[in-house]
Chains A and B, each alone.
Chain A
């Protein structure tokens, strides 16, 4: 396969030369807010928003400067400083892939910052919240902009830290504290994979810089090391992107404030795994690599698992979290298909960033009006009291189920078509997943906005303030038109091809009337229809019905937690118990026994000190006699 990846060139000056400002602004914001503490309480949130917006402005300027160059010159490396002499020079890589992410992160991030002003208005720790959000934006930008794996890894850990801090933001709730810990621990497993992958890259190629790696890999490489690197990086991606088998943390992560769920656990951080797979594409595609196949299988399995979980959740945020898992599964499936799927994976990532953030913020708006109630069985008929939230949420909903001509339709259909073409079985599973998506998303909309009122007695739902609804409107605009803009005419494909490969001349044409496309639409229609029969037209019981075996299966997150518990937690506990036993009885026994022996014998020995002068005098006499005897004896020999 001929590579169409453009060469990376060094660049200085201009906005791109100062791209580090993108990271510096939010980092500075976080520093100020965290170090000055309470003094910034009054204006801290405004500073946070300003820093995020400043970063967005830099990203937009850098984007326009980048598209000013010819297509083959659009990969610019900016050197910053010598980070680990002889190993890594820290630098930024501004190319179509990283700038797409930077625009998404800063753009959606800024909107969510603005929304948080309203959402967190009554929280006494709002300033700290904005500090963490800024920290997250800085770390995420470092992750996507770094031109080497070490920088990427620092950003990777940084977003992990920010995610931990924000999930546990209300740490007075034990559930939130536990969820934060769980996310951190599960992510460590993935990070381990990424780290070991980096070790293998270093020992195999002797460099961790994308530019050098790109030059070396085209020269042809051993397949064993490549496969190992690919699988290890996939493990890293699974951890961060909540893919099977490391999916269990994402649903619990919904304990964090809703803007966090929207920004970190839907739009940006969880897509870092997709970024990693696409950025490291060269490791996944030596001809016939098993690593790429593994990526597609993981993606397809997760998209079904997430969709099934989404069907049974009554907690609106957990339902959306299941759907996030599922959509990232689509992206992984696309990313595993090589350059043909990259554009759709990234495209779906961008449109998903918009419509999922839109729906999460919409859910936050609903919770804001319903005294933080998350149980959809206590909603119903909210469309009349929250018209703006309803309309924006509904647009996001249409986008995610792939309603024709909306954003999700183009990008998801692209992934499905490509998958059916390259991996027919997984492709048709993705079609099935789309049908399930239609069902569970409709269920969510019907239970929340339609039907009868099932509100709690003290609930007085009301529309949220403008500072919250304006970001919703902007995001829903993105959900409406972005997909068509990116996919029709292959705009995104051609834009990305210098960075990820793929022949610009092969830009896929969008054809709505193919078998998988029509099948998807039909299945989605069936899903929506079933949801309407069960949750739209019929009464929704206020108490969760017992449900069948399958429902329980989905409610319990496909027994993911039970599996982890019996496979890892219990044996781990046994191991620690064994270690504790060995420590108490073995090590402590040895040390304590020695101490007791010395103590006991010295206790007996000290009885010699009687306090009677005559005893001492006698011992002196005996000593003198012995000495004299010894002298005499030596004298005679």
Chain B
């Protein structure tokens, strides 16, 4: 059983990472980040179940809290950028460079 969960977790993480790297829409990139976080959550919970204690589950809760906070700040930034630049593409927001 554990192996299946871990494989699923790995697949989800890989999809999320791929999405962050290749998608341009900021919202999608953001969702992919969430996907990676949740893949990690899944791994934590799986290990917690196998080991038989609560620590992994507690960490999963922390991750969720952090993800929620991140969504609040991140979405606010994305909306602001969209309002000023009429675009939600991460490649357009490239002014901070050499």
User: Which of A's residues lie within 8 Å of B, judged by CB?
Assistant: 606-614, 617-618, 621
Dominant secondary structure at the B interface: loop
CA distance A571 to B70 in the complex (A): 77
B69 contacts A by Cβ under 8 Å:
no
CA distance A617 to B32 in the complex (A): 12
Whether B98 and A607, one on each chain, are in contact in the complex, defined by CB atoms closer than 8 angstroms, is: yes
Nearest residue (CB) in A for B20 is A617
Q: Can you add 18 more A-B contacts, CB < 8 Å, to A611-B96, A617-B21?
A: A606-B98, A607-B98, A609-B98, A610-B94, A610-B97, A610-B98, A611-B94, A611-B95, A611-B97, A612-B90, A612-B91, A612-B94, A613-B90, A613-B93, A614-B20, A614-B90, A618-B21, A621-B17
CA distance A609 to B98 in the complex (A): 6
B73 contacts A by Cβ under 8 Å:
no
Residues of A within 8 A of B96 (CB): 611
B22 contacts A by Cβ under 8 Å:
yes
CB distance from B31 to the nearest CB of A (A): 14
Which parts of B18-49 form the interface with A (CB within 8 Å)? 20-22, 29
CA distance A613 to B25 in the complex (A): 12
CB distance from A290 to the nearest CB of B (A): 77
Which parts of B60-98 form the interface with A (CB within 8 Å)? 90-91, 93-98
CB distance from B75 to the nearest CB of A (A): 16
Residues of A within 8 A of B17 (CB): 621
CB distance from B18 to the nearest CB of A (A): 10
CA distance A606 to B95 in the complex (A): 14
Whether A614 and B21, one on each chain, are in contact in the complex, defined by CB atoms closer than 8 angstroms, is: yes
**Mind listing 29 A-B residue pairs with CB under 8 Å?**
A606-B98, A607-B98, A608-B98, A609-B97, A609-B98, A610-B94, A610-B97, A610-B98, A611-B94, A611-B95, A611-B96, A611-B97, A611-B98, A612-B90, A612-B91, A612-B94, A613-B29, A613-B90, A613-B93, A614-B20, A614-B21, A614-B22, A614-B90, A614-B91, A617-B20, A617-B21, A618-B21, A621-B17, A621-B21
Residues of B within 8 A of A610 (CB): 94, 97-98
CB distance from B57 to the nearest CB of A (A): 24
Nearest residue (CB) in B for A612 is B94
CA distance A613 to B91 in the complex (A): 7
CA distance A477 to B96 in the complex (A): 94
Residues of B within 8 A of A621 (CB): 17, 21
4 smallest CB-CB distances across A and B, nearest first, come from A611-B97, A611-B94, A606-B98, A609-B98
Residues of B within 8 A of A618 (CB): 21
CB distance from A623 to the nearest CB of B (A): 13
Residues of A within 8 A of B29 (CB): 613
CA distance A610 to B97 in the complex (A): 5
Residues of A within 8 A of B21 (CB): 614, 617-618, 621
Residues of A within 8 A of B91 (CB): 612, 614
Most-contacted residue by chain B among A610, A611, A613, A618 (CB, 10 A): A613
CA distance A460 to B30 in the complex (A): 103
Residues of A within 8 A of B98 (CB): 606-611
CB distance from B54 to the nearest CB of A (A): 26
CB distance from A196 to the nearest CB of B (A): 61
Residues of B within 8 A of A612 (CB): 90-91, 94
CB distance from A628 to the nearest CB of B (A): 12
CB distance from A603 to the nearest CB of B (A): 9
CA distance A606 to B98 in the complex (A): 6
CA distance A298 to B62 in the complex (A): 101
Residues of B within 8 A of A609 (CB): 97-98
CB distance from A267 to the nearest CB of B (A): 76
CA distance A608 to B98 in the complex (A): 8
CA distance A612 to B95 in the complex (A): 9
